Structure 1
Amino acid sequence: MPSVTDAVKRVLVGRPFRSERLSETLLRKRVALPVFASDALSSVAYAPDEIFLTLSIAGIAAYAVSPWVGLAVVVVMLVVVASYRQNVHAYPSGGGDYEVATVNLGPSAGLTVGSALLVDYVLTVAVSISSGAQYAATAIPALRGHEALFAAALVLLLMTVNLRGVRESGTAFAIPTYIFMFSILGMALYGFGRYLFGDLPMAESSRYDLTAEHDISGGLTSLAGAFLILRAFSSGAAALTGVEAISNGVPAFREPKSRNAATTLLLLGTISVTMLVSTIALANLTQVRFAEDPSIQLLEDGVPVGDDFVQDPIIGQLAATVFDHFPVAFYVVTAATGVILVLAANTAFNGFPVLASILARDGYLPKQLHTRGDRLAFSNGIIALAGAAVVLVLAFDAQVTRLIQLYVVGVFVSFTMSQTGMVRHWTRHLRTERDPAARRRMKRSRVINSIGLGLTGMVLVIVLLTKFTQGAWLAILAMVVLFANMKLIRQHYTSVSRELEIAEEAGAKALPTGVRGVVLVSKLHKPTLRALAYARAARPSDLQAVTVSVDPEETAALQARWDALGLPIPLTVLDSPYREVTRPVLEHVKALRARHPRDLVTVYVPEYVVGHWWETLLHNQSALRLRARLRYTPGVMVASVPWQLSSSEGMEDRVERSAPGVVRRGTFGPTPTRPDPASPAATTPPPGGSGGEREGAR
């Protein structure tokens, strides 16, 4: 019978995949688009809001520049998409910006990009999910005031879906993503059609007057006005987040990988630009009002609307206006928008684990992030991303306006460094390339990446200038901390590798001249006899049994029984006037090592394996303390010799079924047969018995 934990896991995650099925998880373009592009596509739901919200600080007159701000964002997006099409052809291995920067600018530059992208992926999840929670609260009043908890639950739901595998998550999210795309484009076409026929009504919020929150001295042409426009542009640049995910996910595409990734990038850019421009244009045609502080900025008959006023997002207002006579379409648009904001986080759930895996492979993150789970996804990376996102959502109470200030910085750091690396890449290859056609292609690509470098570098400066004091410094601090930690992790792995490496000339010297066995004895019973048998089977050059005399009468009885059974191994009795067990054994083992420094000492510890947690409370754990201390003694090995009590029967099967990552451990075939409990070869207890008694000593 499967355990409850195993059954729940299989329902949520599914049955494990064999490693050979990795190729079956590769994506077609029609599935890859919603998987990798949902973040950039979903930005249409909040990028226009941020543009209008920022401009509202200067009052209604500032709305006049919103089309130009949107146009600037579009230009940057098209250039970035064109630039990344060069990236996916030149570096199709999936390293993306990290690989480009590492190869062309050095390890520190690559690590800078890696830390920036990891932080940005976490923020992508937090911003998208929080925005989706706010849309849900608009439609479901019962959620108001509980957006943060609802958002955290959505993050965990996304985590569970992604643990089932990239292909499964892509298939599940494809339909909602396409519904969102067609609903926004359909709303735009229908709205422009009504405008051409003079039938487009004004938005509900158009009846309000919008006052400036702060007077901009000198107007928008002043320095303060220009700074406000730049700030609106940097907020709107959130539409570019997610573009880099495709370059990190090239290995997930079907063959030809680079071409399919480049095509998906082109589709992403075209659709995103169309939706963004259409949304901004419709918002101006319907005279939507969207204020940073609506309670005091929006006036009705000269009176502020007050704190009870609920300001709907721009797409919600547009849907209500365009489909004023067709409420079903309104609900489709708003529902699709809320869903896509949640699904946008799926881009990060596909990008973060892959990038973390590559960084772990290179020794900058824990090695566990490089292993695949039962469904061939990088499960540990998925769980780490979800945990970090939940912390952010709860810390910022799922408020998009606060989270958005931390956003974008990381992605433009990676954009800028990636384009710098690509320019150097083409320059390096042009030095050796002699084919005229190839040189022309390289020069064209270098021009595209150079333009991309100029624009992304400029946007990065703008973002830093306009958002640093608004909260971007927190994102930068997180990148610095992550960068430093990854450097320390790499130093640790390098140090350990250097310490463990065996020089060729020292190979023979590294082998011990002999092995001396020590069997710990507290009582003369079946576990002790098994340990003695196992130790003798290992054929050490010297073998002795050791007991600690805590009670003289018990020790004398043990010695008498030992002699009566005629055991062929001498029993050494260690005195302990203070009734200690650990110290006498440690001193004895160290003395043995001192007398024979070229020999290896193996300490055999008999242990009980129990099946219930409460049984561990009925047995002492002195041998556990001994094992922990012996681990730090050079030249000493510790071998556990388990004896399974009847209560542990069946534990092995339950533990094996519930053990995570069966595929990544290489257990692809039938479950191995259970070894004979009486066999001395079973030297390691099943994990379920880790809390059992270690009966090596009293």
Structure 2
Amino acid sequence: MSDLSDAAKRLLLGRPVRSDRLGHTLIPKRIALPVFASDALSSVAYAPDEILLTLSLAGASALVISPWVGLAVAFVMLVVVASYRQNVHAYPSGGGDYEVATTNLGPTAGVTVASALLVDYVLTVAVSISSGAQYAATAFPPLRGHEAAFAVGLVILLTVANLRGVKESGTLFAIPVYMFMFAIGAVAIVGAIQFLTGNLAMAESAQLQLLPGSGLNEGVSGLAGFFLILRAFASGCAALTGVEAISNGVPAFKKPKSKNAATTLALLGGISVTMILSILLLARATHVTFADDPMTQLTRNGQPVEATYIQHPVISQISTAVFHDVPWMAVIVSIVTGLILILAANTAFNGFPVLGSILARDGFLPRQLHTRGDRLAFSNGIVTLALAAIALIIAFDAEVTRLIQLYIVGVFVSFTVSQFGMIKHWGRHLRTEADPAERARMMRSRVINTIGFIMTATVLVVVLITKFTHGAWIAILAMAIVFALMQSIHRHYAQVRAELALGADAASARALPSRVHAIVLVSHLHRPTMRALSYARASRPQILEALTVGVDPEDVEALRAQWEELAIPVPLRVLDSPFREITRPVLTYVRSIRRDSPRDLVVVYIPEYVVGHWWEQLLHNQSALRLKGRLLFTPGVVVASVPWQLASTEGQTGLEDPVRGTVPRGY
């Protein structure tokens, strides 16, 4: 069974990688772009949809301003990218926003940012995979109604791919990401040429009429319309998610790390802005009619659309119009769009484990998240992210519209706090820097970060105002829970560290016990018992005795007779147990020894069976497990397990067959 599981693990994850090969897992810019930017690039597939869906509540007239909303989103994107280019140069260690906030604003601010980012990474996976599942259901109708199960399967596939290592998964995912960029670029260029030459076809929904939602009959005029525009802007700002992942992933870049990360950020910003604006402009040019509730808002010739009407995503409608003479190109665009939505989750799979490792190193998350797996990836962090995302997908039934309302709150919390931290960073360094050229560079960077802080803080306020009642409160509550959890973990580690530290009593801690009182627990006289007695005698304690609990008088008499017959040179003590208990009499006796001689060390030897199958464990060692669990809480007591391997354990260690090349010749 062990060999089979090891073979399956090697097949899925590959051979283990030595620690000294960590440098070979670093990735160049051409791989870093699809690895870290897939989330932001994938927003092209749903950010324009969300802008149009929100504006559609005010009717067809509101859709006209969608490019202007997109332009505002693009401006914020460029400002944030410029700001984060300063971050990766100033803090290249991979801590990202968490390190910036902790260093400049204190641990509380750092944990606030970290909790926001952790929640946002989980939401990134849930939203991206759910959106990809929706695209897949559009392309393959049999998947309709099973989107959640399909999304869970996709998360599992991504998990396995990332457990193989960052470089290997990045190479695997690079091709679909570049195919998506090529496909959207082709749509934009061909669509622009057709528009300029007057040959651009209309979208499939152009013939439909869009009715405003209730209470918005006046369009985008008035206070309600203004808030609707703000809400559309907030939804479009989902395009900015993923920008912070590059600052967290700087250690994964090849040298020069900061320069390569900054270049990747610039490429990300330029490509994302171009794509989003192109899609929104083509949506207006092809008269895409997109509704938040198609059944009530869309009409055909004055009548509501038929119940079988399917509202295809914006990119699908545009690509079908642009490539109306080459339909297979539209199919390719839909396929690669679905792929990029799935692969967008890979950004979180690279950002979450690295951030989790840093938080674990600082004592805010369990230490296990700081260890690397066989392939030098942070395996525990990858699995934790996957489980959290799967839980969210199941809870929200993979519905993007419900999940998107929880989105981007966390990332703009981290954006805002990080930019404020960078302002403090430059201010602190300017107080000590004397070189005029360096001071000029720092002042320029501070101006960029100040603009970034103003923009991100404004967007955060807009998001909180417009999305709080639509589900954003759930994300805020999740951040508060994660924040409280990390603080409690940190307090626990600090308390344990204080208890274990050597203080004024260090000298007394080195003192030897007055005596060692060894006790060998005996149930029957067999080979495991004899081995435990031999080990106890070999340790040469000052006092050694065997201990059994008298549950059945006949069994006790038989044990005494066998003990005397074999002339075992260890006294046998029998504890009475009128209520047939085993654990309580042993604990009472051990504690009485400690009470009578507090400076004595009591060592309890427990013979245990080592079994090869899980079901055998259910049949053995239950009394031993209960005893060990209780004795561990008794001060001054050491529990020594004496193993006896049963025949079923043969071949279970995984070390019977030496790895080729590890055994010297001649052995």
Alignment TM-score, normalising by the size of structure 2? 0.96
Name 1:570's counterpart in structure 2: 571
Shift of 1:245: 0.3
Matches within 5 A, 1:468-617: 468-509=468-509, 511-513=511-513, 514-616=515-617
Instruction: Indicate if the aligned counterparts of 2:58 and 2:217 stay in contact, CA closer than 8 A.
Output: no
- Cα distance change on mapping 1:279 and 1:349 into 2, 3 Å: same
Range that drifts further, 343-352 or 553-562: 553-562
Shift of 1:566: 3.0
Shift of 1:642: 1.0
SS of equivalent residue, structure 2 residue 653: helix
Name 2:78's counterpart in structure 1: 78
Residue by residue over 1:239-271, the C-alpha shift from the partner in whole angstroms, topping out at 9 and shown as x without a partner, is: 100000000000000000000000000000010
SS of equivalent residue, structure 2 residue 473: helix
Give the number of aligned pairs. Answer: 663
Shift of 1:550: 2.7
Shift of 1:571: 2.0
Name 1:453's counterpart in structure 2: 453
SS of equivalent residue, structure 1 residue 17: coil
Shift of 1:611: 2.6
SS of equivalent residue, structure 1 residue 308: coil
Matches within 5 A, 1:391-406: 391-406=391-406
Matches within 5 A, 1:365-444: 365-444=365-444
Name 1:57's counterpart in structure 2: 57
Instruction: Indicate if the aligned counterparts of 2:55 and 2:229 stay in contact, CA closer than 8 A.
Output: yes
Letter in 2 for 1:34: P
Name 1:687's counterpart in structure 2: none
Cα distance in 1, alignment partners of residues 294 and 100 from structure 2: 45
Alignment TM-score, normalising by the size of structure 1? 0.92
Shift of 1:617: 5.3
- Cα distance change on mapping 1:511 and 1:308 into 2, 3 Å: farther
Is 1:30–2:30 an aligned residue pair?
Answer: yes
Cα distance in 2, alignment partners of residues 369 and 270 from structure 1: 34
SS of equivalent residue, structure 2 residue 508: coil
- Cα distance change on mapping 1:561 and 1:219 into 2, 3 Å: closer
SS of equivalent residue, structure 2 residue 568: coil
Cα distance in 2, alignment partners of residues 305 and 224 from structure 1: 27
Letter in 2 for 1:537: A
Shift of 1:182: 0.9
Instruction: Indicate if the aligned counterparts of 1:512 and 1:599 stay in contact, CA closer than 8 A.
Output: no
Instruction: Indicate if the aligned counterparts of 2:55 and 2:228 stay in contact, CA closer than 8 A.
Output: yes
Instruction: Indicate if the aligned counterparts of 1:3 and 1:654 stay in contact, CA closer than 8 A.
Output: no
Shift of 1:656: 11
Letter in 2 for 1:586: L
Shift of 1:115: 0.5
Cα distance in 1, alignment partners of residues 179 and 550 from structure 2: 77
Cα distance in 1, alignment partners of residues 5 and 509 from structure 2: 49
Cα distance in 1, alignment partners of residues 580 and 140 from structure 2: 68
SS of equivalent residue, structure 2 residue 432: coil
Letter in 2 for 1:538: S
Range that drifts further, 363-372 or 570-579: 570-579
Instruction: Indicate if the aligned counterparts of 2:47 and 2:238 stay in contact, CA closer than 8 A.
Output: yes
Cα distance in 2, alignment partners of residues 430 and 141 from structure 1: 61
Cα distance in 1, alignment partners of residues 276 and 656 from structure 2: 52
Name 1:16's counterpart in structure 2: 16
Cα distance in 2, alignment partners of residues 574 and 465 from structure 1: 71
- Cα distance change on mapping 1:378 and 1:230 into 2, 3 Å: same
Shift of 1:551: 3.1
SS of equivalent residue, structure 1 residue 78: helix
- Cα distance change on mapping 1:49 and 1:512 into 2, 3 Å: same
Name 1:197's counterpart in structure 2: 197
Identity fraction in percent: 66
Cα distance in 1, alignment partners of residues 604 and 319 from structure 2: 75
Name 2:46's counterpart in structure 1: 46
Is 1:166–2:157 an aligned residue pair?
Answer: no
Cα distance in 2, alignment partners of residues 219 and 559 from structure 1: 96
Where in structure 2 are there 5+ consecutive unaligned residues?
none
Name 2:351's counterpart in structure 1: 351
- Cα distance change on mapping 1:58 and 1:249 into 2, 3 Å: same
Range that drifts further, 157-166 or 648-657: 648-657
Matches within 5 A, 1:599-638: 599-616=600-617, 618-619=619-620, 621-638=622-639
Matches within 5 A, 1:89-100: 89-100=89-100
- Cα distance change on mapping 1:611 and 1:505 into 2, 3 Å: closer
Cα distance in 1, alignment partners of residues 583 and 660 from structure 2: 42
Cα distance in 2, alignment partners of residues 434 and 105 from structure 1: 24
Shift of 1:547: 1.9
Cα distance in 1, alignment partners of residues 657 and 251 from structure 2: 32
Letter in 2 for 1:15: R
Is 1:88–2:88 an aligned residue pair?
Answer: yes
Cα distance in 1, alignment partners of residues 2 and 103 from structure 2: 49
Name 2:646's counterpart in structure 1: 645
Range that drifts further, 606-615 or 295-304: 606-615
Cα distance in 1, alignment partners of residues 618 and 192 from structure 2: 74
Cα distance in 1, alignment partners of residues 466 and 121 from structure 2: 21
Matches within 5 A, 1:137-152: 137-152=137-152
Cα distance in 1, alignment partners of residues 504 and 284 from structure 2: 75
Residue by residue over 1:502-542, the C-alpha shift from the partner in whole angstroms, topping out at 9 and shown as x without a partner, is: 21443334544232211111222221111111112222232
Letter in 2 for 1:452: G
SS of equivalent residue, structure 1 residue 574: strand
SS of equivalent residue, structure 1 residue 432: coil
Letter in 2 for 1:272: S
SS of equivalent residue, structure 1 residue 606: strand
Letter in 2 for 1:643: W
Name 1:188's counterpart in structure 2: 188
Cα distance in 1, alignment partners of residues 619 and 135 from structure 2: 55
Cα distance in 2, alignment partners of residues 481 and 355 from structure 1: 18
- Cα distance change on mapping 1:295 and 1:435 into 2, 3 Å: same
Instruction: Indicate if the aligned counterparts of 2:58 and 2:218 stay in contact, CA closer than 8 A.
Output: no
- Cα distance change on mapping 1:609 and 1:268 into 2, 3 Å: same
Range that drifts further, 151-160 or 541-550: 541-550
- Cα distance change on mapping 1:384 and 1:6 into 2, 3 Å: same
SS of equivalent residue, structure 1 residue 653: coil
Range that drifts further, 16-25 or 33-42: 16-25
SS of equivalent residue, structure 1 residue 651: coil
Cα distance in 2, alignment partners of residues 292 and 467 from structure 1: 16
Cα distance in 1, alignment partners of residues 467 and 653 from structure 2: 56
Residue by residue over 1:220-255, the C-alpha shift from the partner in whole angstroms, topping out at 9 and shown as x without a partner, is: 231111111101100000110000000000000000
Cα distance in 2, alignment partners of residues 615 and 135 from structure 1: 48
